[in-house]
Amino acid sequence: QVQLVESGGGLVQTGGSLRLSCAASGRTFISYRMAWFRQAPGKEREFVAAISWSDGTTYHADSVKGRFTISRDNAKNTMYLQMKSLKPEDTAVYYCAAKPGSGYIGSVLGYDYWGQGTQVTVSS
């Protein structure tokens, strides 16, 4: 049974930092791309960042470039999202997801597996 379990969310002040983790289990993800999405109240789920599990190639949304960094630890089967210089508009539930093979990564379509989400709240 495939599981993606997020952790690390919380309440932080503007300008603060958080590191989210996504622990993956239940299958080999070597041919997958792993991603972070977020969803704020009343808004659609939006792409944040993605990483190729095999070679570590990363992709970041323009809104988080220079502030967020995605990474993975193959030995631990865990993906991370280091978030710095947080803003109130970063407040959302953050989800990790897994998508097989290649193809467009910026849409929720095509992602086979999702975690349950972790809340990030940035106070002003």
59 bridge partner residues: 50
Alpha carbons 112 and 53: distance in angstroms, whole number: 15
* Residue 10, pLDDT above cutoff 90: yes
pLDDT tier at 107, thresholds 50, 70, 90: very high
**pLDDT value at position 70?**
98
Read off the pLDDT of each residue in 55-64 and give the average, rounded to a whole number.
96
For residue 79, give the nearest of 104, 105, 98 by alpha carbon.
98
